[in-house]
Amino acid sequence: MLAWLLLLSSASAGRIDLNQASLHELDSLPGLGRSKAAAIIAHREAHGPYTRLDDLLGVSGIGPGTVRSLEGYVTIGDKVLASAHSRPPANEAQHPVVPSAVAVDPNDATIVELAALPGISGPRAEAIVADREKNGPFESCADLVRVEGIGPATVAALRDLCAVE
């Protein structure tokens, strides 16, 4: 009963408990797709409950960028989590984040502009540009799912920040 109340209280705050979340709930988080969500659940079942956000680094396919993207979205019980990796690693410093007040067109945007979007790190921004050069322009922002590492949850988080002209 207590676990259910904690899940309910964190859900009402718009956050998801890592130790209680379903595949669907995890899949809805920025930076995660269905395969990463499934890997989080499999790791939780194999190794026991998470005690801190950085425990996710033990999950195959999840690195510091993904962990940072989950800050503020996940809890353990009623504790909102932050990562020890809150600062970007040196290899991501080459992609400074420059916030934008206007929608970004993934067909024209630079790597720096793309990396400023929520759930899009420097390496994902590079992947978007590489995909665009290889496969041609995106017909809509929803087409970003064709880029490896970008799933429906990330695209949903970009809804108001992405526009194909």
Higher pLDDT pick, 131 / 109: 131
Q: How many Å apart are CA 53 and CA 40, to the nearest integer?
A: 11
Average pLDDT, the chain: 76
Question: Is the pLDDT score of 29 beyond 60?
Answer: yes
Each residue of 84-100: pLDDT tens digit?
Answer: 444 444 444 444 444 44
Considering only 20-24, 101-105, 126-130, which range has the smallest mean pLDDT?
101-105
Q: How confident is the model at residue 78 (pLDDT cuts 50, 70, 90)?
A: low
> Which one of 96-105, 129-138, 147-156 scores highest in mean pLDDT?
129-138
Query: Are residues 138 and 106 in contact, defined by beta-carbon separation less than 8 angstroms?
Result: yes
Domains annotated on the chain, with CATH:
2-80 (1.10.150.320), 90-157 (1.10.150.280)
DSSP string, 106-164: TTT--HHHHHTSTT--HHHHHHHHHHHHHH---SSGGGGGGSTT--HHHHHHTTTTB--
- pLDDT for the residue 114: 85
Query: Are residues 64 and 83 in contact, defined by beta-carbon separation less than 8 angstroms?
Result: yes
Task: Tell me the CA distances in angstroms from 13 to 3, 25, 28, 138, one per residue in order.
Answer: 15, 14, 15, 34
> Which residues have CB under 8 Å from 45's CB, separation 6+?
none
Q: How many Å apart are CA 86 and CA 84, to the nearest integer?
A: 6
